Amino acid sequence: MKTNLPLLLLLLLLFAGCEDPAPTDYIPQNVVTAYLIVGQPIQGITLSRSQAVADSFKYANSVIRDADVRIIEGERVHQLQYRNDHNNIGEYYLPDTTMLVRPATRYRLEVALNNGGRITGETITPVQVAWVKPPHQLLQYPADTANLPSPDSLSFAWTAVEGTREYIISVSCLDSLEYGRYLTPATQEKNRRTSSVINQNARRRYDETTRWAFVQATKLPLVWFAFKWYGAHEISVYAPDPNMVEWFKQTRFGPNEFNTLLSTVQGDGIGVFGSASVVRQQQFVLKNQP
């Protein structure tokens, strides 16, 4: 039996033409990340545009640099400007750095995009959080980690902030390389990790110098596991507004997915406009052995 090759090719073309086209059309979405920290200048506000998963992702290509961004405080309108950093990933900020974010104050965000889009948001800043019992400035890592002492030396407490039900805690290593330079007298000794044991859940954050957590209390017995390195550290307690804490939970502990229903900005974009007050203390963790 002979095959009619021209007829076969024609049938294949007809079947191929009946298939649905590939969904290649992608509609980008504008994303806002904006936090106001009480007692600090207005800065660190970022605008970006999402990219299709089929494209090679490069964050610098998604940054929106030409928006009109304003922070409104009562009758005062603060016009923000854009600046690049060394990675070409910049921020919107208020040039007048003497204008600090005030506690217990309502702020509004207004963003006008060059395509006519508009994004707005609102936050009420918490009152200033303060130490009740600050963390110890000097800690001695236990020599015998299999028989740990009482964690009382690691406990610290802070003031309750009205309207704040969950607090964000961060433990940051300020210098993961140097150790001896902070001693008296200074030495050339280098820093190292407190443990070489890495579990699967922590592997993706192995190189991050900050650990994050949130608690529903105003006192915390910190654990030794919070310190990835010895040496210079800083402990921070944030009293966030609801906008900030919900965004933080999703971006730090979630499966890298954002529920758009929890967005705290309105209009032509998604994201967060939140605020917090913060109190910090620097610590130094001594090695348990040379």
pLDDT of residue 207: 83
pLDDT of residue 2: 53
Give residue-wise pLDDT tens across range 199-217. Answer: 555 566 778 899 999 899 9
Pick the CATH number of 30-127+255-276 from 1.10.10, 3.40.50, 1.20.120, 2.60.40: 2.60.40
- Return residue ranges of the chain for CATH 2.60.40: 30-127+255-276
CA gap 205, 50 in Å, rounded: 23
Give the list of residues 6+ apart from residue 223 with CB closer than 8 angstroms, or none. Answer: 151, 154
pLDDT of residue 145: 65
Give residue-wise pLDDT tens across range 24-43. Answer: 566 778 999 999 999 999 99
Distances (CA, A) of 52 to 28, 118, 196: 7, 22, 38
Model confidence band, residue 258 (pLDDT cutoffs 50, 70, 90): low
Give residue-wise pLDDT tens across range 135-179. Answer: 999 998 887 766 666 556 789 999 999 989 999 999 999 999 999
- In 113-244, the DSSP E strands lie at 118-124, 131-133, 138-140, 155-158, 167-173, 210-215, 219-221, 231-240
Model confidence band, residue 9 (pLDDT cutoffs 50, 70, 90): very low
CA gap 240, 216 in Å, rounded: 12
β 167-173/231-240 pair status = antiparallel
Task: Give the type of residue at 177.
Answer: L
Look up tokens 């979405």; give the residue: 29
Closest to 228 in 3D by CA, of 285, 165, 178 = 285
pLDDT of residue 56: 64
Distances (CA, A) of 91 to 52, 64, 99, 181, 213: 23, 9, 17, 33, 26
What pTM did the predictor assign? Answer: 0.83
Q: Which two tokens stand for residue 73?
A: 């405080």
